[in-house]
Structure 1
Amino acid sequence: MRTTSVFGILIALAGTQQLAFAGECENAPFGRCGGEGWEGSECCNEGYECKVQNPYYSQCVPIDQSGSSCAQAYGQCGGKAFTGETCCVSGFECVKANTWYSQCLPKYRWGSSDAPVESSGNDKEASKSVEPVEPSTSVPQVEKPTTTSTTTTTTVKETEPTTTKEHTTTTTKAPETTTTTKKPETTTTTTTSSSSSSSTYAPISGGSSGDGSTTRYWDCCKASCSWPGKADVSSPVGVCAADGVSLTDNNEQSGCNGGSGYMCNDNQPWAINDDLAYGFAAASIAGKDESGWCCGCYELSFTSGAVEGKKMVVQVTNTGGDLGSNHFDLQIPGGGVGIFNGCQTQWNAPSDGWGQRYGGLSSASGCSDLPKELQAGCEWRFNWFKNADNPSVTFKEVTCPAELTKKTGCSRS
C-alpha cells in the first residue's frame, strides 16, 4: 500500500541497489523501529517517535507538534499566494516543489547510495500508506533473478473495459462561452473477455532498470506530476474536480491542501489478462528526479508474494519524499490514505479513510464502502493482485501503452 507508514514503508531491496540514509539514525521516517522479532535499531530521527502499530510492528511517525506556530509535518509552507507559516516544525524543512507549492518534508530522507540526499523539491502531495506487518507476514527477502535486457516488442491482449463516454458539454452565453470538459467515465473489470484490443509496449534502450519495492495507496490528492513544469511532457497529468471526472486547471491547488483538485477516478489499476495488468504509481527512481520519471512507464515483474511471476505496467504520476530508491507506490483504491485524506472532502470518506488509515481495507467485502466509481480498482487488489502485501519487483523502463497515456493526458516528449 502506498508506502511507508504514516506510510509504513517496508522496503526490501536486493543486490547493488542499496539505500543510504542521510541522518543521525539508521531508521528512515516511517521506517520500522520495533515489534516482536525486530533486531534493528529502535531510534527515530528528529521530529519522529517510535510508535507501536501492533505487537509485531512499530514505526517512526511524526511527533504531534500541533502546538507549534510553524507548519506541520508534510504541510504547505510556501508558494504563490500562500499566506500561512513558512517555517516547519522540528525535524522538517520547507522544500519548494514549484511556484505554487512548497512542503514541509523530513530533514532526513531515504536516498540513493550513489548520491547524497538533497532537498530536491519532489513533494508528494498525496499521502501514502502501507499495511503493518501481520503475525504471519515477514519482510520479503528478495533473491535477485537474472535480468536479461531485450529490445523486442511485447504484444498483449487487453480487456476492453465497459465505458460510458461523456462528450464535451459546451454552454454558450452571449458574449462568453463556458466549456466544461469531462473525462470518459470508465468502469474497469478484473477479468478478460472475448472482446479485446491489441496493445503494445517495448523496453527503452538505456532506460532505468533494476530491483525495487512496492507499496500501495489511494488518498485522492492531486498528483505531483499534475503541476506544470515538472518535466518535458505533452501536458501535465490531468487534474479532476470533486466528481473525479471533470477536468480542472493544472494550477488548481490540491484538495488535500484546501483546493479543489483531485486524482481522477480512472487512475486506478485494471487487468489485461491473468498475467498482466496496467495502472499508475508514485515512484522514486535511483539516479533521477521528477523531471526524469514523471509520466514515464515501467514494467514491474513481481518477484515475491502471491503475484510472483505476474507483470504490471505502470505510468508514474506522483512522487514523495518518503519513498525509497526504486520504490513504486501503486495507486489502488482502498489501499490506505496515509497522512493526507483527500477522500474525506472528495467522497465524504471516514476521517481515517476506508479500513485502516495506514494499510487500507483488509478484505474485498470492504470495497462496497467505496464510491461505485472506485470499487473496480479496489476489487482488482483482492482478485488479480491476490491481496499481495508489498511484493518486491524487478523493473525496466518501457514505452507507455496508449491506454495509460489516454487516461492521464501525459506523454514524455
Structure 2
Amino acid sequence: MLLSLTNLAILSVVATVSTVEAQQKTGRTTRYWDCCKGSCGWSGKASVNQPITSCDRNDNPLTNMGAKNGCENGGQAYMCTNQSPWAVNDTLSYGFAAVKLTGQNEGTWCCACYKLTFTSGPAAGKTHIVQATNTGGDLGQNHFDLAMPGGGVGLFNGCTSQWGAPPNGWGQQYGGISSRSECDNFPEKLKPGCYWRFDFFQNSDNPDVTFEEITCPKVLTDRSGCIRNGQNPT
C-alpha cells in the first residue's frame, strides 16, 4: 500500500508539471516605441469592453476611439505615455507590447495579458507582465515587441510629429538609443520608461522568454482602459 501511495504521489507531481509546461510556451522579444496609436485601439478587433485608450499630441486621453492614427498624415491619435514600462521591484515589472502569436490573430491577443519570464541576457529570470495593445506586421511567431521609450520606431514614426524627435526617432530606427544618458533628453513623461530599459531590463538585447496568458492585472487595464469580455482584472 505504501508503494502504491508513493506511485500515486509521483504521478500527481508529473501531471502537475506537465500541465504547467503545457501552459508555458517559448517566444522572443524585440523593443519599440513608435508613438503611434496601437492596432488594438480600433473597434471590432476583439471581444472587449472598449478599444485601448489613445492620446492626443499633448498626451491627453481621447474619447473618440475612431480618431485617425497620428502616424498618418493629419492623424491626431498617439500612444499614451502611461503605456511605458515600470518596475515593481528588482524582479517584476509591468508594461505593454505589440504581439504576434502562432496560429492566432488580433481577436485572440488584443488586450490579453501575458506573463513573460526572460530566459537569456542580463534580465534572465526576471518577470515582465504585459498587455497586448498592438500588432506587429513585421513580427515573427510567438513574438513580443516590448514597448519602451527609446526602443526604436521600427516601421512607423509618430514620435517626430508628437514630440519633435529626429526623423528616424531617437537613436537607431530599429533598436533605438544605446545609453542611459540619452534618456535625459527625452520628454519628461517618457524618461521613466526609458530608464527602465537600462535599470530593470539591464539593457538586454532582445532576450528570449517563456510566456503564458494570465488574467490581466488591474494596474494594466486601468491604464489602457481595455478589458477582455469575461475577465475580472484584479
- Residue 252 (1) aligns with residue 67 (2): yes
TM-score (norm 1): 0.50
Question: What is the identity, as a one-letter code, of the residue corresponding to 1:235?
Answer: Q
1:263 counterpart SS class:
coil
Q: 1:350 aligns with which of 152, 166, 173?
A: 166
Question: What is the identity, as a one-letter code, of the residue corresponding to 1:298?
Answer: Y
Question: What is the identity, as a one-letter code, of the residue corresponding to 1:330?
Answer: L
Aligned pairs for 1:380-391 within 5 A: 380-391=196-207
> Contact (CA 8 Å) 2:53, 2:61: kept in 1 or not?
no
Q: 1:300 aligns with which of 116, 137, 145?
A: 116
Aligned pairs for 1:215-230 within 5 A: 215-230=30-45
Give 1:245 shift: 2.6
> Contact (CA 8 Å) 2:51, 2:226: kept in 1 or not?
yes
> Contact (CA 8 Å) 1:245, 1:265: kept in 2 or not?
no
* Structure-1 residue corresponding to 2:105: 289
* Closer/same/farther in 2, CA of residues 148 and 382 from structure 1, 3 Å limit: farther
Structure number having the greater strand percentage: 1
1:257 counterpart SS class:
coil
1:355 counterpart SS class:
coil
Q: 2:212 aligns with which of 383, 392, 396?
A: 396
Distance 2:183 2:40 in 1: 27
Unpaired segments of 5 or more residues in structure 1?
A: 1-146, 151-205
Distance 2:18 2:227 in 1: 26
Question: What is the identity, as a one-letter code, of the residue corresponding to 1:222?
Answer: K
- Residue 334 (1) aligns with residue 188 (2): no
> Contact (CA 8 Å) 2:90, 2:200: kept in 1 or not?
yes
- Residue 235 (1) aligns with residue 50 (2): yes
- Residue 265 (1) aligns with residue 94 (2): no
Give 1:272 shift: 1.0
Give 1:285 shift: 1.0
TM-score (norm 2): 0.87
Question: What is the identity, as a one-letter code, of the residue corresponding to 2:117?
Answer: S
Give 1:394 shift: 0.5
Distance 2:154 2:29 in 1: 15
Give 1:339 shift: 2.6
* Structure-1 residue corresponding to 2:222: 406
- Residue 378 (1) aligns with residue 208 (2): no
CA RMSD of aligned residues (A): 1.3
Give 1:149 shift: 4.1
> Contact (CA 8 Å) 1:332, 1:378: kept in 2 or not?
yes
Distance 2:146 2:40 in 1: 15
* Structure-2 residue corresponding to 1:61: none
Q: Which has the higher contact order (CA 8 A, sep 6+)?
A: 2
* Structure-2 residue corresponding to 1:311: 127
Give 1:247 shift: 2.0
Q: Deviations over 1:100-140 (max 9, x none)?
A: xxxxxxxxxxxxxxxxxxxxxxxxxxxxxxxxxxxxxxxxx
> Contact (CA 8 Å) 1:214, 1:392: kept in 2 or not?
yes
Give the fraction of aligned pairs with identical amino acids, expressed as a percent. Answer: 55
> Contact (CA 8 Å) 1:241, 1:248: kept in 2 or not?
no
Distance 2:34 2:59 in 1: 13
Q: Deviations over 1:247-290 (max 9, x none)?
A: 24111110101210000110010001111100000001112100
Distance 2:130 2:19 in 1: 19
Question: What is the identity, as a one-letter code, of the residue corresponding to 1:215?
Answer: T
4+ long deviations beyond 3 Å: 147-150
